[in-house]
Amino acid sequence: MSKLAAIKLIKSLSGSEKRYFKSYAKRQSVNRIYLDLFMVIEEGTATDEVVIEKKFYEKHKNASIHNATNYLVKILTDCLIQLKMSKDIEFQLLQGMMRVRVLQERSLYQEAYRELQTIRSAALAFQHPVVPYLTYREELNYLSEVNFPSVTDREIVGMQMKAKGLLRDLSNIHDHHSLFELLKYRLIHARKISSKEELEKLNDLVLSEMGLATSKPSKSFAAQKLHLLFQSFYFTNIGEYKSALKTFASLNKLFETHIDLQENPPLDYLSALDGILDNLHMLEYYDQMPFYVTRVEQLDQPGYPEYFRNRVQKTSIVYQSIQLMQEKKYEAVSELIQSMGKDWQMYQMVDEEKQWELYFYMAISFYWQNNLNKAHKWINQVLQLHIAHKHWLICKAVRLLNIVIYYELGDNDYLEYEIKAYKRFFEKEHLLKSELLLFQYIRLKPEVKYLRRQPLQELVKEMDSLLDDRFERQLLKYFDCLQWISERLRREKLGRKPR
């Protein structure tokens, strides 16, 4: 187990979870080197593995940090499982199956049988096809072991057919999962879809998924959820935002009518609400966003883990910030994020993409307030604290804003280096036209008096063709660099010095 895994796990713990773990560790009589490693990670603000390793060896020169890390993660996960057992029905069902196995091993067949009946009833109500199938399999194994007492041929066949039906449901769900996973893989490794040619590469998956949904219809919550997730994810990534919004609305309705079947915490429901809000952002339907922001905030409940509630709060703040940005209330954006205090910087490693968004909106709010130094400070913080991911457009937006700030500060030497580094990291063949136009504009240096007019005229023509491009909007929703270029060109035409 890597040290990073231990760091991320500990940084995701709530106060009550940390207290439970410490109490558990103190009850043990064995050497508690792993507890010292826990304290080093918990008390320090650093997430650098080298720094943590150095501090650990200051306390235990002859110990193995590798062994301590493995044992620490094991004990931590055991504690979290125990805490989750009382709140998560799926955990309870799986624990019940383990209890059945123990009872059977001790020849307590009647007790095991009664436990199976209880588990099956709960699992069927929860629409969890794996566990009901296992209960039928265990029951048939038990009946076979005791030579089928007091059971008829018809009853045995009935149990076998019910088990087979559950396997068919599982096969259907597996096929949905497989298609959804392939879709995500292709979209992630191809970055964002940016042409009709790239879109055609997904046709086989779309046709297969539609065939699966129509030829093998299932009324189960899991199958319906996966079908709508596939459709909404597909439409979002190809730029069909109205279709995506319609599908997300159906998905939201499905979640709201099956509240009792949701996970604990309801990560899929939060993801669906996030998708709806993201599509509203793309379509600029800002007046509809407050309704769904309220839905997000309703997930901030005491019964859910603290890291999840923090993620809910961040999601709410991100979309409130977007609304304020649209209204040009830039000072209110930075005040809103900072009003969370230290909360918005807690659990930074749980949902790093949302963390990038928060830092971005802090930076851009100061940028539009003409405070370039503060904007640059927030960008530097996120670049130092979080690893950039090539398939996250927010990482592009942050670095593009960084380039623009350096341009306005007049740091031309750094600009050339940063643009080359940007193209190298995100790979030039995957850059959108709007990104390339921004770099072209910056390199033209329009403030120079002897600049030829022809390059700028060509630039304006290219910009006009991109304004309604649905693929370009995927990035421009964060920072509209085309509008930025247009504003500067307008000011130069009027003879004003650009900001």
Residue 295 has what pLDDT? 93
Q: pLDDT tens across 320-336, in order?
A: 999 999 999 999 999 99
Residue 35 belongs to domain spanning: 3-85
Alpha helices in 146-218 (DSSP H): 153-189, 196-200, 203-215
Stronger pLDDT, 251 or 458, i.e. the higher one: 251
454: pLDDT strictly greater than 60: no
Same domain? For 109 and 39 the reply is no
Most confident of 9-13, 54-58, 249-253, 315-319: 315-319
Same domain? For 61 and 123 the reply is no
88: pLDDT strictly greater than 70: yes
Q: pLDDT tens across 213-237, in order?
A: 877 666 788 888 888 989 988 888 7
448: pLDDT strictly greater than 50: no
**How does DSSP assign 57-114, residue by residue?**
HHH-TTS-HHHHHHHHHHHHHHHHHHHHHTT-HHHHHHHHHHHHHHHHHTT-HHHHHH
Residue 51 has what pLDDT? 80
Q: What is the DSSP letter of 497?
A: P
Residue tagged 């539609």 (tokens): 210
Same domain? For 421 and 468 the reply is yes
Residue 410 has what pLDDT? 84
Q: What is the DSSP letter of 116?
A: H
Lookup: tokens for 202: 């997904």
For the chain, helix (H) and strand (E) counts, in that order, are 25, 0
55: confidence class by pLDDT, cuts 50, 70, 90: confident
Question: Of the candidates 85, 105, 138, which is a domain's last residue?
Answer: 85
Distance (Å, rounded) from C-alpha 378 to C-alpha 366?
9
Is 37 within a domain? yes
Distance (Å, rounded) from C-alpha 118 to C-alpha 107?
19
Same domain? For 472 and 494 the reply is yes
Show contacts of 55-62: CB within 8 Å, 24+ apart.
60/33, 60/36
Number of domains in the chain: 3
Interval 195-210 mean pLDDT = 74
Same domain? For 122 and 73 the reply is no
Is 321 within a domain? no
Residue 220 has what pLDDT? 81
Residue 343 has what pLDDT? 62
Q: What is the DSSP letter of 219?
A: -
- Of the candidates 405, 395, 409, 412, the one whose C-alpha atom is nearest the C-alpha of residue 354 is 395
Could you give the percent of the chain with pLDDT greater than 90?
28
Is 313 within a domain? no
263: pLDDT strictly greater than 50: yes
Stronger pLDDT, 277 or 455, i.e. the higher one: 277
Distance (Å, rounded) from C-alpha 415 to C-alpha 382?
19
84: pLDDT strictly greater than 50: yes
C-alpha atoms less than 13 angstroms from C-alpha of 346 in its C-beta half-sphere = 18
Based on the number of CB atoms within 10 Å of its own CB, is 304 exposed (0-12), middle (13-18) or buried (19 or more)? middle
Residue 465 has what pLDDT? 73
Residue 262 has what pLDDT? 83
Based on the number of CB atoms within 10 Å of its own CB, is 30 exposed (0-12), middle (13-18) or buried (19 or more)? exposed
Question: Of the candidates 130, 151, 172, which is a domain's last residue?
Answer: 151
Same domain? For 50 and 132 the reply is no
Is 289 within a domain? no
Same domain? For 33 and 97 the reply is no
C-alpha atoms less than 13 angstroms from C-alpha of 71 in its C-beta half-sphere = 16
Is 27 within a domain? yes
Residue 378 has what pLDDT? 93
496: pLDDT strictly greater than 60: no
Lookup: tokens for 182: 């392939």
Helix (H) or strand (E) holding 447: none
Is 405 within a domain? yes
Of 176-190, 235-249, 439-453, the least confident: 439-453
44: confidence class by pLDDT, cuts 50, 70, 90: low
99: confidence class by pLDDT, cuts 50, 70, 90: very high
C-alpha atoms less than 13 angstroms from C-alpha of 233 in its C-beta half-sphere = 23
Distance (Å, rounded) from C-alpha 202 to C-alpha 191?
13
Is 384 within a domain? no
| Nearby residues of 385 by Cβ (< 8 Å), 6 or more positions away | 47, 348, 355
Q: What is the Rg, in whole angstroms, of the alpha carbon atoms belonging to the chain? A: 28
Is 47 within a domain? yes
What does pTM read for this prediction? 0.80
Same domain? For 80 and 101 the reply is no
449: confidence class by pLDDT, cuts 50, 70, 90: very low
CB 254 within 8 A of CB 261: no
Same domain? For 424 and 499 the reply is yes
Same domain? For 15 and 53 the reply is yes
Stronger pLDDT, 430 or 287, i.e. the higher one: 287
Question: Of the candidates 151, 174, 189, which is a domain's last residue?
Answer: 151
197: pLDDT strictly greater than 80: no
Same domain? For 458 and 498 the reply is yes
Interval 272-301 mean pLDDT = 92
What are the C-alpha distances in Å from 110 to residues 67, 144, 151, 157, 406? 43, 14, 15, 21, 75
CB 492 within 8 A of CB 498: yes
What are the C-alpha distances in Å from 193 to residues 47, 51, 183, 354, 427? 34, 40, 12, 22, 15
Residue 446 has what pLDDT? 47
Q: Chain-wide mean pLDDT for the chain?
A: 84
Same domain? For 112 and 132 the reply is yes
Q: pLDDT tens across 463-483, in order?
A: 777 777 777 888 889 988 888
